[in-house]
Structure 1
């Protein structure tokens, strides 16, 4: 069962409308926050943003103000004004005032969106007075009043809480409010995003931590095997405490080198969304600068481990104390903890060229190269490939066939099955 804590931002009247539509969703808890300006956002959103899962703006201009403010890193959605929302207000004006569409000034609606609405309804008049560029309240008020004062328009339609101010200036103004259809549509997007983020948090994460005993910081000391073993035990003890925090498991793979298996969610939290180094208790003789770390995220433990090694290699290049993360889409970011972090794609020109020739994803191509390296052989059958990639034999056969068609693999042998059945092809990969 989903449990989405949704921050609802906008003018109070729009919030009330949207809240009524959201009542039917048992998996959404709505937190209304009336905000019209960046000052409101600083005062009302900042104190509670850590507790909210996602955000919904009641209209496109509120969304623009929130985006410009830039104080929210969680997913932000908005309810667009299109289709039924525009039809309803135009029908009201036509019925009550006999106003034509070209006698109205508009904001918060794009010209292309409006053209589509007019085309669908068969209205041939062109729209001249529409402001969709600015999100500043005073500029929008000035735009509508200028059009009205010069006699270009008779009424204003606004999607933002400036209706009252326009009416005080003597200008008839109407609001566009979110419709139930629009709210239902954006709720579907919110649910999909929540499920995707929930899945991502459950992705496997591998963390490789490495330190060099030669830089332990005890000058002019010759390290005996006993001393190294003592340091190893002490540091492993500290790492086990850290590992418990992220509900992981730890494996020593070499002196001074450790692999920790966990999930993306725990590492994301402890590194503040992969922006800082996690705090790992140290001991006398080992400074933070002696530890480097590579974090890998993947859909499988194998993929995450490969990515962790790639991240570790980058950390080594950055120098002592560096941490890097390699995500499942082959983006590497770091050094964690630095004010300015680099993010780049770990996709070689070779992989890029192959991807352009085939329909295979970058992740699939990296897996193929990793399998070749692990097996120390370029020859593989569909059943073997399926086992390594944890996919069906049919899918593996399709991958190998596509590589063959594009000259990236060719059949070098055929294996006879033990029982009945057709011979199994053995391919040589030319990646």
Structure 2
């Protein structure tokens, strides 16, 4: 076993959570953070307070997993226990021994029809499965219970087999015979092995080289009337001392890279912790109160020191474009995130054939197309107006309008309506983007 110690958030219904938790607690690699839910609408509110405490999350099924994943609020790795194999076998045996209902007289949800048929074939059972409600991602308990209940009221089925606890409870209230598919120990253990391997991989990632490229302008605080060469020297020495203190806090080493430019070599894990997962700028006391002096900062992650330094240079140039004091981070997967600490942050790609093809159809850069795609992913839809785009990309509204017009001319956007946020204001065009 590995020497890692992971804080694992476990979210499940009241009947499935104890099963999963009992299996997980047998592994010394985990500290469990169990959360029980009774309604899908409360899931996000339940896990938000633990978002910064859990290294990874394990969900009792596909629906809670999909709700959290689609929200985009949790960046830690997410996993769920699939209700396949032994889980379904156990439920079908229960149905057979308690009611002796043929599988053709049952309604199922979550599974694909072929999954159930293959399982029965392996047991030597050849019978049709006419009623299956398969879905991708999340679904409401009401929709599932309505599906099962209607079939039962019409006399087409004798019972329901559901993977969703809330649908199970709803059908019980309606008086319909219903059987719940619970996680099997073997399925939980298979997912746990994947989680452990992922933890080992992330541990190795944290040891990767990280480079922080900083440009400082110590002259900001100098009065022109009292400025002298001695003042310049003292300010430079003071700034260097501050940077050295900060470098020690990230367990790194400081190197001068020319007038006002410094490079800190450290590890991915140290900077990840200092920036809360590359979302914020370190607190003032951690930065030794360098904020007023930092003109731009770029963080680079790479497999080698050279690669990390190249990435830091890219991030630094993007930070310079965002304006004074901006921080950006560039990763070894070809993406850039930031500005760190800003209200609206995006993570976008700088490469890929698709991006290049889209850029060639317009007069926009690959980086701009990458940012646009990231904004749409973050919003969860492909409709936007210029002022919203400007806020996400931290550019002027007129620049955002130019980008949207460019996309429209290339057939990659269309105006679909107008919105007027102020009664006396000028209407704003809403565009649908095809990226």
TM-score range, shorter chain: 0.7 to 0.9
- The equivalent position to 1:275 in structure 2, one of 274, 279, 291, is 279
Task: Label 1:257 to 1:221 Cα distance change in 2 as closer, same or farther (>3 A).
Answer: farther
Contact 1:166–1:173 at 8 Å: present in 2 too? yes
Residue 130 in structure 1 maps to residue 137 in structure 2 = no
Contact 1:61–1:159 at 8 Å: present in 2 too? no
Structure 1 SS opposite 2:82: coil
Structure 1 SS opposite 2:92: helix
Between 1:333-342 and 1:153-162, the stretch displaced more is 333-342
Q: Distance in 1 between matches of 2:94 and 2:144?
A: 22
Gaps of 5+ in 1: 354-431
- Aligned partner of 1:26 in structure 2 is 28
Shift of 1:130: 2.0
- Aligned partner of 1:396 in structure 2 is none
Structure 2 SS opposite 1:47: helix
Shift of 1:120: 4.0
Query: TM-score with structure 1 length normalisation?
Result: 0.73
Structure 1 SS opposite 2:333: coil
Map 1:349-364 to 2 at 5 A: none
Structure 1 SS opposite 2:16: helix
Q: Distance in 2 between matches of 1:52 and 1:216?
A: 41
- Aligned partner of 1:80 in structure 2 is 82
What are the superposed Cα offsets for residues 299-338 of structure 1, whole Å, 9 maximum, x if unpaired? 1212111211122122223332222111112212222222
Q: Distance in 2 between matches of 1:174 and 1:76?
A: 27
Task: Label 1:187 to 1:208 Cα distance change in 2 as closer, same or farther (>3 A).
Answer: same
Q: Distance in 1 between matches of 2:308 and 2:202?
A: 17
Query: TM-score with structure 2 length normalisation?
Result: 0.72
Contact 2:211–2:263 at 8 Å: present in 1 too? yes
Shift of 1:208: 0.9
Between 1:166-175 and 1:296-305, the stretch displaced more is 166-175
- Aligned partner of 2:202 in structure 1 is 197
- Aligned partner of 2:212 in structure 1 is 207
- Aligned partner of 2:305 in structure 1 is 301
Task: Label 1:48 to 1:316 Cα distance change in 2 as closer, same or farther (>3 A).
Answer: closer
Structure 2 SS opposite 1:292: strand
What are the superposed Cα offsets for residues 277-314 of structure 1, whole Å, 9 maximum, x if unpaired? 2342347xx835x5211111111212111211122122
- Aligned partner of 1:91 in structure 2 is 93
- Aligned partner of 2:394 in structure 1 is none
Gaps of 5+ in 2: 358-435
Structure 2 SS opposite 1:12: coil
Contact 1:101–1:127 at 8 Å: present in 2 too? no
Q: Distance in 1 between matches of 2:323 and 2:25?
A: 54
Structure 1 SS opposite 2:309: helix
Shift of 1:276: 2.1
Q: Distance in 1 between matches of 2:150 and 2:131?
A: 13
Shift of 1:271: 1.5
Q: What is the root-mean-square deviation in Å for CA atoms of aligned residues?
A: 2.8
What are the superposed Cα offsets for residues 360-419 of structure 1, whole Å, 9 maximum, x if unpaired? xxxxxxxxxxxxxxxxxxxxxxxxxxxxxxxxxxxxxxxxxxxxxxxxxxxxxxxxxxxx
Residue 58 in structure 1 maps to residue 52 in structure 2 = no
Residue 315 in structure 1 maps to residue 296 in structure 2 = no
- The equivalent position to 2:248 in structure 1, one of 244, 247, 254, is 244
Q: Distance in 1 between matches of 2:297 and 2:18?
A: 49
Larger Rg: 1
Map 1:314-393 to 2 at 5 A: 314-347=318-351
Q: Distance in 1 between matches of 2:214 and 2:24?
A: 46
Contact 2:210–2:266 at 8 Å: present in 1 too? yes
Contact 1:36–1:62 at 8 Å: present in 2 too? no
Shift of 1:142: 1.9
- Aligned partner of 1:369 in structure 2 is none
Q: What count of residue pairs does the alignment treat as equivalent?
A: 348
- Aligned partner of 1:264 in structure 2 is 268
- The equivalent position to 2:154 in structure 1, one of 150, 154, 168, is 150
